[in-house]
């Protein structure tokens, strides 16, 4: 796990094509890690879950990352 802060606005949108069945709402979260590196993570969720400046945890298995508060 890596700690960081939400660096900018959280963008809302659809993960996948809205025309396809099973389309899910998602968000893209830009996180500034404690190391100074900036990453963007796209995951299911709502724009109300995160705000700029929120302290977050980033979990990654090397290919998939997830942001949580």
How confident is the model over 37-42, as a mean pLDDT?
93
Mean pLDDT to the nearest integer, 32-61: 92
23-38: b (≥16 Cβ within 10 Å) or e:
eeebbbbbbeeeeeee
Q: Average pLDDT of 17-33?
A: 76
Confidence at 11, pLDDT banded by 50, 70, 90: low
| pLDDT recorded at residue 55 | 93
User: Which DSSP letter does residue 63 get?
Assistant: S
The pTM for the full model equals: 0.72
Average pLDDT over residues 28-56: 92
């Amino acid at each position: 796990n890596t700690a960081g802060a939400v660096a900018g606005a959280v963008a809302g949108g659809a993960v996948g094509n809205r025309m396809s069945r099973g389309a899910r709402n998602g968000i893209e979260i830009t996180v500034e890690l404690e190391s100074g590196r900036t990453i963007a993570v796209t995951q299911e969720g709502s724009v109300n879950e995160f705000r700029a400046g929120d302290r977050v945890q980033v979990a990654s298995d090397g290919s998939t990352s997830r942001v949580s508060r």
